[in-house]
Chains A and B, each alone.
Chain A
Amino acid sequence: MTEIFGGYLPMILKGMVLTIEVALLSLALSLFLGMLAASARLYGGPIARSIAGIYTTVIRGIPDLVLMMLIFFGGQVVVNKIGDKFGWGYIDIDPFVAGVITIGFIFGAYMGETFRGAIMAVSKGEIEAGHAYGMTNWQVFLHITFPSMVRHALPGFMNNWLVLVKTTALVSVIGLEDMVYSAKVAGDSLRQPFTFYVLVGTLFLLITAVSDLAMRWLERRYSIGESR
């Protein structure tokens, strides 16, 4: 195998690990921001509600790469200004951190909309029944709202995840040595750009296919109570 790709396969696979790391970390951030945005829009006061509304609308209206550049280059300017004041000298913004923050920030907006829809779809009667049985608010959330919300949110969540994985390819543009970046280096040095980009495309398909399997399992797990 290694001879086929001119000894560059380990480098590509290392890039793939980085791609998956970026994807999972930004997923975690996006879930947190999404929950925050959804709760703000559903239960927050007027200020929290409008901030969350602006966040979800504006982020979804601007291309991801523009936001990434803004956070990467803009963050650099801000860090340098702060650094100057405290005499820290020059600090480089890590493209890994910038990538994770941007992607997490963008998909937080999409997750927020998914969660909002899912929470609104939880039946009121079930929540009232929980309270009638003397459950505390926390018990109602844990045993009724949450499992039912997960069921409603799963298709949207999965869709967001698949788009997120593909978006991680953009971190190569700000210089992170992910799968796409490794393919460029390998392809350029062997003069086989086609081979390596197709290889990386195939690896992305592999991630998608594995995600699909995981999704089927989750769907089965969370639709146990669903009558069909």
Chain B
Amino acid sequence: MDFSIIIDNLPLLFKGLFLTLQLLLISLAIGFVMAIPLSIMAASKNPWLRLPVKAYIYVFRGTPLLIQVFIIYYGLSQFEWLRDSPLWNIFKSAYWCAVIAFALNTAAYTAEIFRGAILQTPKGELEAAEACGMSRWDQYLHIILPSALRRSIPMYGNEVIFMLHATVLAGVITLVDLFGAAKIINSRYYAPFESFISAGLFYLAITFTIVFIFKLAERHFLKHLKR
């Protein structure tokens, strides 16, 4: 094995690393913002709010992300009205298609995590809020969401790692993320071990960093639950 290839191509790998992190952070941010209203709807007693969100979560969690990416990137070109509309500027770009697919996907998984946490809210806290005369809005803002989001931290950490690993699909639709960079190096030098092991080590390092950050977050935000 000749790892000097990797040293020569470090700039390419770092460029890929940058795109991977960028895709990860943007789609996580959009997904997180979407997941909060979605999880409240999914935890609601009103079927008109709950069922559509449940269907959305079911479909996005039940199908491979690869299919979701393909439907958005390759599939949507089937519709002529879309190709003729200004929206096409977004949907013809592999970058935005990846971001949209990743964000919609992580929103579904995250909403399911938050929904579980919202349903775990102790009855007593809700009754106390009710007794204090809090509106439904205030209850969510000051009682339900703060504690539900805290309880979600460990599960959400897993979701973040899952999303990091999912970003390789960007490399499948022609983008040069970390995986795409490794693919280029492999095809240029026919060096599968060097390229994919290096990319694997990069991913491993990011995974460990994420685990570490979430450990710190758990220690800070879940102090009151420590046994």
Residues of A within 8 A of B (CB): 58, 60-67, 69-70, 72-74, 76-77, 162, 166-170, 172-173, 180, 183-184, 187, 191-195, 197-198, 200-201, 204-205, 208-209
B182 at the interface (CB under 8 A from A): yes
What does the 1/0 interface line of B49-63 toward A look like (CB < 8 Å)?
000000000110011
Contact indicator A66/B182 (Cβ below 8 Å): yes
Name which of B59, B66, B77, B190 has the most chain A CB atoms within 10 A of its CB.
B66
Q: Once the chains are docked, how many angstroms separate the CA of A172 from the CA of B169?
A: 12
Q: Once the chains are docked, how many angstroms separate the CA of A225 from the CA of B193?
A: 50
Give B158 Cβ to nearest chain A Cβ, in Å. 10
Q: Which A residues lie within 8 Å of B169 (CB)?
A: 65
Contact indicator B64/A193 (Cβ below 8 Å): no
Partner of B62, one of A168, A169, A194, A204: A204
Query: Given A193-B70, A195-B78, are A166 and B200 neighbors across the interface (CB < 8 Å)?
Result: no
Residues of B within 8 A of A (CB): 58-59, 62-68, 70-71, 74-79, 161, 164-169, 171-172, 179, 182-183, 186, 190, 192-193, 196-197, 199-200, 203-204, 207-208
Q: Once the chains are docked, how many angstroms separate the CA of A201 from the CA of B183?
A: 27
Q: Which A residues lie within 8 Å of B203 (CB)?
A: 61-63, 66
Query: Given A58-B204, A204-B62, are A66 and B196 neighbors across the interface (CB < 8 Å)?
Result: yes
Give B181 Cβ to nearest chain A Cβ, in Å. 11
Contact indicator B62/A77 (Cβ below 8 Å): no
Q: Once the chains are docked, how many angstroms separate the CA of A197 from the CA of B173?
A: 15
Name which of B63, B166, B190 has the most chain A CB atoms within 10 A of its CB.
B63
Contact indicator B74/A187 (Cβ below 8 Å): yes
Query: Given A63-B179, A63-B203, A180-B66, are A69 and B78 neighbors across the interface (CB < 8 Å)?
Result: no
Contact indicator B63/A201 (Cβ below 8 Å): yes
Q: Which B residues lie within 8 Å of A167 (CB)?
A: 64
Q: Once the chains are docked, how many angstroms separate the CA of A173 from the CA of B208?
A: 27
Contact indicator B204/A204 (Cβ below 8 Å): no
Q: Once the chains are docked, how many angstroms separate the CA of A169 from the CA of B67?
A: 8
Query: Given A63-B203, A204-B62, are A197 and B70 neighbors across the interface (CB < 8 Å)?
Result: yes
Contact indicator B168/A66 (Cβ below 8 Å): yes
Partner of B79, one of A76, A194, A204: A194
- Name 16 A/B residue pairs within 8 A (Cβ), A-sorted: A62-B207, A65-B172, A65-B179, A66-B203, A69-B196, A72-B192, A73-B186, A74-B193, A76-B192, A167-B64, A169-B67, A170-B64, A195-B78, A201-B64, A204-B63, A209-B62
